[in-house]
Structure 1
């Protein structure tokens, strides 16, 4: 028996536009991705580093061949 995820049951549609969950339960469900994305808020800003960023002294220095 193959294992299926909710993605298969609630998002993949047949050519007639129905999902497996709609056919099984006999009702329509909200769009899977829209309902998940609606729970997210604006992403927070990244944390500042506790140590100051020192420039790399080796970057850009000429190297003899």
Structure 2
């Protein structure tokens, strides 16, 4: 896999905006799934935090 050093460490404003939009879409999709399971807003926020913490502890991302 080829990684562009410039884009990774010195992204343009457009690339930053794309990343934020992508994250927001993904976050909203996760929220929808948890809400379908009957979680309240505070429960799903806590669950998402726990999911992220679990992924970091497993070494999937930092």
What TM-score do you get using the length of structure 1 for normalisation? 0.28
What TM-score do you get using the length of structure 2 for normalisation? 0.28
Instruction: Name which structure has the greater RCO, CA cutoff 8 Å, separation 6+.
Output: 1
- Larger proportion of helix: 2
